[in-house]
Amino acid sequence: MAEPDTVLTEPPVSVAVPVPAPAGPEPGPRRPDHVAIIMDGNGRWAAGRRLPRVAGHRAGAQAVRRCIRAAIENNVRWLTLYAFSSENWRRPADEVTDLTALLRHYLRSEIAELHREGVRVRVIGEHERFGPEIRAELEAAERLTAANTRLTLIVALSYGARAEILQAARRIVAAAQAGTVQPDALDEAGFARYLSTDGIPDPDLVIRTSGECRLSNFLLWQSAYAELVFLDVLWPDFEAHHLAGAIDVFTRRERRYGARPG
């Protein structure tokens, strides 16, 4: 019998050489990548100064600026700000008008600066309810800043978690009827893709100012395992040290996700 004329060789063997770990600081406690804030207390801030509520909202807009800067300084990668809830439409018409005007003013005065700072802007909620002009400005802001990577600022405008979950359920039913979704095969990650926060990691830390201890329909699905920190400061008085303090509290919490502590 003829010998085969090709010689089979062993595949090359790679030799693992131990690589020394690079010298550097010890990894510290885990810090939050995503901080979400319920910015509450503008009205009480104004009332305490015998000012109209709109003065509180204006001062609140200044606090938003400080907060974004502080988030960048603290290496927060995702910051969600609850600016207007789907239930806030129940407020008196003059307050809604003031808030809408303030939003328009904020967009015009801040977006260029946010872009310079490397902030990517994203909006969640039924923001089209603020009218075509604001809708166009918000969409322009999203487009302009889409490639920025330093911080993603998610602004929740006319946002309500129940409405969001209901909308997701409706879209899933429609997809199931069209045959593009198999309901039995849908898992939690698959469901979350139908939420307005698709592509955004769940918040690690949810902060509420003003001393109220409730979520007021904010990110109910996404905050399932968020750490909650309630601060006794009215939103217009919020300073960088409040964010740093809440992050410090977060780093001392033990997150268990239902498992036993290690």
Give the residue numbers marked as catalytic.
40, 88
Q: Which is nearer to ligand IPE, 82 or 238 (CB)?
A: 82
By Cβ distance, which residue is nearest to Mg ion?
40
User: Would you say 89 or 248 has its CB closer to ligand IPE?
Assistant: 89
Residue 39 touches which of Mg ion, ligand IPE, none (Cβ within 5-8 Å per kind): ligand IPE
Give the shortest CB-199-to-Mg ion separation in angstroms.
29
In the complex with ligand IPE, the residue whose CB is nearer, 145 or 158, is 158
Minimum distance of ligand IPE from residue 35's CB (angstroms): 15
What crossing angle do the helices spanning 93-116 and 53-73 adopt, rounded to 10°?
Answer: 30
Q: Hey, what are 11's tokens?
A: 């595949």
Q: Which of 42, 152 has the CB closer to ligand IPE?
A: 42
With binding defined as CB under 5 A, does residue 110 bind Mg ion?
A: no
Written as one string, the DSSP assignment of 54-93 is HHHHHHHHHHHHHHHHHHHHTT-SEEEEEEEETTGGGS-H
Binds 84, which of Mg ion, ligand IPE, none (CB < 5 to 8 A, cut-off by type)?
A: ligand IPE
Question: How many residues lie near Mg ion (CB under 5 A)?
Answer: 1
Q: What is the DSSP letter of 231?
A: -
Rule CB under 5 A: say whether 40 interacts with Mg ion: yes
Provide CB contacts within 8 A for 118, sequence distance 6+.
Answer: 148, 149, 150, 151
Distance of CA 27 to the CA centre of its chain: 25
**What radius of gyration, in Å, describes the C-alpha atoms of the chain?**
24
C-alpha–C-alpha distance, residues 38 and 60, integer Å: 12
The entry of ligand IPE, Mg ion, none near residue 155 (CB within 5 to 8 angstroms by kind) is none
For 229, phi and psi rounded to 5 degrees?
-130, 120
Q: Tell me the residue nearest to ligand IPE as measured from the CB.
A: 43
Q: Which positions lie near Mg ion, rule CB under 5 A?
A: 40
